[in-house]
Amino acid sequence: MHADKGLIVDANTVFGAYPKRKTDVSLKNLLRTMDLNGIEKALTVSLKGAFYSYEEGNEETLKACNADKRLIPLATVDPRRFLGDAGEIENLVRRGFKGIRLFKDFQGYPLDYSPVIEIVESMEGLGVPLLVPCNEYGCITLLSRLTVEKDYPVIVLGCTYSFLSEFIVSARRNRNLYVETRLLTSSDAIEILVEKIGASRLIFGSGIPLEYFQASYRMVESAKIREEDRDLILGGNILRIIREAG
């Protein structure tokens, strides 16, 4: 039996405030949702960094994670504000952040964008994962090209059935690529991914408390895959990535 059997580690959670509609995304509600659903650990990031100031958001994330060890801090950088100063990304990792998450979906910049390319380059040698939402055709292709020679994991967030073939073809060429399961909603997406690229490349994420946990969890839970593969997807893979990051 491996150490991570039965653990749920959620690689996609947020907290803070949400300006686009009325909803409770408070830290308290995140922790409550984790308790309700038996989530052992969660990678998290303050939405302040997505919508307002990434520097202030990162401080808020660290504070929340220091107060509750179930939370694993991700930093975010807003490429619209990032000037590519030497050592900025490295310093975030030194301070204890376990990965860098971009909010391209909320912030609207393209991937082929100098500040993004600078972030991708700056992460070389740091060992922590980069998490990037991709919800238009070509995004995964470009992300794969940018990172194929890098030495760190890249987790594609929000991949849907529309981008499934693009991810699988890209991931066969680029061993750094992983995919978050939250929007892999087509009837056999998880089984296909496990068969084509292996369970070690799938990372469970739910988007709580912005989204319904059970919606993403039940897709993994009911997938016709081996139990050891399910354990890898639900927690084993992301824990390995985080442990290797140091």
Partner 1 sequence: MPIVDVHAHYGEWFFPIYKSAKKDIEEMMNIHGIEKAILSSSKAIMYDMVEGNMDLSRILDSNKGLYGYVYVNPNYPELSKAEVEKYLGNPLFKGVGEIHPDYTGVSVDTDESFSVIREAAEYQKPFLIHTYSLENVRALVELAKKFPDNIFIAGHMGGTVWSGTGLSWKKAIDAAKEYSNIYLEICMTLFEKGKLEEAVDKAGADKIMFGSDLTLLNPAHMIGMVLGAEISRSDREKIFYLNAKRVFRL
Q: What residues contact residue 54 under an 8 Å CB cut-off, 6+ apart? A: 75, 76, 77, 78, 81, 82
How near is the Cβ of 91 to partner 1 at its closest, in Å? 30
Strands, sheet with 41-46, edge to edge from the N-terminal-most edge strand: 9-15, 41-46, 71-73
**Lookup: tokens for 212:** 């319904």
Shortest distance in whole angstroms from residue 206 CB to partner 1: 10
Q: Phi/psi at 25 (nearest 5 deg)? A: -115, 30
| Closest CB to partner 1 among residues 102, 123 | 102
Provide the minimum distance between the beta carbon of 140 and partner 1 in the complex, in angstroms, as a whole number: 14
Least distance from C-beta 163 to partner 1, angstroms? 9
Residue among 64 and 208 whose Cβ is closer to partner 1: 208
* CB-based burial label for 241 (10 Å; 0-12, 13-18, 19+): buried
- Residue 110, preceding peptide bond in cis (omega within 30° of 0): no
Interface with partner 1 (CB under 8 A): 18, 20-23, 105-106, 135, 160-162, 164-165, 168, 183, 185-189, 192, 208-219, 221-222
| Closest distance to partner 1 from the beta carbon of 149 (Å) | 27
Q: Which is nearer to partner 1, 120 or 183 (CB)?
A: 183
Residue closer to partner 1 by CB (options 23, 114) is 23
Distances from the Cα of 111 to the Cα of 20, 29, 74, 160, 240, angstroms = 23, 32, 20, 18, 27
Nearer to partner 1, 114 or 214 (CB): 214
